[in-house]
Structure 1
Amino acid sequence: MIENNNLVERQYEAKNNDLAEEQHEIKKNNFVVDTEERENAIEPILGSELEGLDPSNYPLITPSIELTIKNRFSSWKIAKYYLKEYGRQKGFATKRYRVEFHRNRTVKKRTLTCEKAGKYKPNKTKPIGQQRNKGSKRTDCKCHVNLSSSEHTHYVHITFIYPEHNHTINADNKRFTTAFKHFDKSIMAEIEHAVVYGYCDIHMIRNLLQLKFSDQLFLMQDLSNAIQKIKCDKKVNRSDASHLLKFLLNQQKKEPTIFVQPLINVDSNRLCSIFWMTANQILLWSHYFDVVLHDNISRTNKYNFPLSLFILVDSEGKSRLGAQAFLNNETQESYKWVLQQTLDATSSEPNVFITDMDPAMNAACKNIYENTYYLYCIWHLLQNLPKRLKSKLALIEKYPNTYEYLHNTLYPTQQSWACVFVNRIFTVGMQSTQCIESINALIYKEVSSSLSMINVVEAIDSRMQKEALKCKFYNMEI
């Protein structure tokens, strides 16, 4: 009997414990619900208009954004995008700095900072004399925002804001910051339609996009990259010569001062060479034609047409692309033709013309640039000497061959390379074509031997757009 009573008491006690736990759980859930309801009543949810949208298609936020500690968001993706737009409106870019996770691996805390936060810590293994210390944009800026989300709610709260920067905030920073130059899917779809079906050039595409997406900034370099990506993905392939001519002639219609001159074989109706100068290049030539450098670069297109470049040096000492041409070959006749085009386009021949000792170019210069002083690139000259004069012993043993090079090739052109003659003329301190190599390197980054000529022209056009943008940026900084 006693055992039965004890059993009943234990069952009654267990039932009471289960009831107490159930009531505690109900109170806990009610507390969470009540907390959410109070929060909903206290502060609206920022970015609620973005809910249900694809994160890659989030629109620009035009109303002015002001953040407070009470602000909250419905998800981490919306919170990060909203803070990115906040930075865009204020003139700075944000970056992720620190993150903490709950035990279930959901995000617990995250800190977003200004892109200039932190200190630059060089990690260089080269000797000091070989290092290129270009500096860093980091200024140890302390501006940051702390975000937090609990396990019981899906809302993301702002827990701390430090809005002060230790550097100048410029509204034009969004024009040069990579974070704000991304094209969403709708823009990429419009570009793809224009490239694949519309046969539009880059300028026409930009004009069409600017009308439809007035809030988006379209830089020529970014647009060119998007076009090239679509062409590679969709394998767009057209008659390259006709496309190239159409592109340049359409530019000429829009800007009549652009000079375009093709050389077409009348028998085969094939494009042999083409020369062009933009309006800005003609203006640069009229200002800085005192010293002009020339070089050919190869492996820029799938037809193996050499790309002939004319380089100017402006008043800031910077190399500027003055004119360009695709040549069928590197013969004297081709060089005579391209030099004549520079005269037809500008009516000005250079005072000093620096080349790489190409005999065909030297002969062409004497026929076309009659009043120009010719200089040979001292770097190419020094590269040739070790090949001819490998050692003193070789000089003695092979004196006849060496004598022929020194006496018949090098000595007659002494006025084009010897310092005693070169120092008498104005050369902007240059005696080599080395400054062309920097432009060559930039072009090689954009093109390859598998590309068409129109791809190369678009890359050059993008390069000139970048030059103009840099000049504007430097003027803004000053």
Structure 2
Amino acid sequence: MMSTTVDGVRICPTTGNQYYTPIVPDSSKPVVGMHFQSIDSAFNFYKKYAKLSGFEGRKHTQSSKNGVVIRKYFVCAKEGSATSCAVDTVNDSVGADKKLNDRRRRPSKRTGCKAHIRLALTPKNTYRISHVFEEHNHSFVDEEDYHLLASSRKLTFTEEQLLSDFSEMNIGPVRAFNLMRKIRGGFDKVGVTSTDCKNFKRDINLFIGEFDVDMAVQRLMKKKQFLPNFSCEFYCDEKGALAGLFWADEEMKLNYEVFGDVMSFDATFRTNRYDLVFVPFTGIDNHHHNVTFAGSLLASETAESYKWLLQSFLKAFGVAPKVVVTDQDAATKIAIRDVFPDTRHRLCMWHIMIKVSEKVGTELSQDEVFKDDICDVVWTDALEPAQFETQWCDLMIKYNLTSNSWLSDMYNLRSDWIPAYYRHEHMSGLMRTTSRSESENHFFWSINQHKIVIS
């Protein structure tokens, strides 16, 4: 019983296995007797033949004599079978065995394909095809999917530069690939896949390695050198690690000049990778929108680090704000007192008022009338200080809170957070809490998370 071949497909009569022979023009087929000047030129020919056929080719074994290759094999990429090694997942030993434990499990793409050609060195130092075996034990890639073959996928210098530029604009490799696909009119017109773009970004990150902080600082310092109205300051700890970074550009300084009477800063955002606290300086413009006056990164939230930060701010802007709003952090209080002695330090009202419910007991915390009464006294700026003090005392007596130690402490700090004591400070009524800074922190956090997801 003999096998028959139809359209390049042969079915073995004994096993029923299918074997595939490429259907390509004769001028592109490897034929016994063909000569090439070098192994590389022969391999280029084989790769073109493989691409036209719909499979991948790769170099295989060779034989050498006196350092000269006398025999070389080119095979289908699905030749052979994946080598496997036993990995003891129970063993947690370090070193070489640990690398085996961490190895990713990937399905093998090899099928034991026997298709190959063999080159032999001739007396004239050229290479001649001495043997050809064309049958594959797997089907080929369809013509419309040729662009997905590894031999067809390669990032050009222009595409690499484009991906790098997109990355600087917080556009990840997947979104960058989709943009290139839209511009060029289809997946097959890009020449690569989204995975290739992600691998390129990964390789760039590996190349940068531990020098990314140095690159960021150098870039900001170069801006300071060439942009006369750009400010940047940094300092390192005793180990040489970045301890503080501050920057402000021309637009930030213009905003501060117009809207800088009242400012807040809050350190609630911490990056996972570098463990640096992000501290934006935030104000409000004439449309009641947030404006950023400066940005900074700190390795620690100590009084000394905040002093350095405020000194950098004062160096960049030349004048301190009239009012600064922060939470009840002791380190910021010390820094503001020492660096901004003429600035009024205002405590965040929200951070104080959110604690009222837990400090007055369960019954009052659920009493809506009490909540309305205390808010009417605390939040309004229509009262003079003397009026506030009278109404506060009446409120404490009415609800039997005169012995509440926490409320007494907050009353002693009344000039640091009650609007009645700030009613004559220009624009102070616009900013009573650090919620503006917290929303800015959340905004920058969202950008960072979005970048991670699309990268």
What TM-score comes out, normalization by structure 1 length? 0.44
Instruction: Find the structure with the greater CA-based Rg.
Output: 2
What TM-score comes out, normalization by structure 2 length? 0.46
Whose helix proportion is higher, 1 or 2? 1
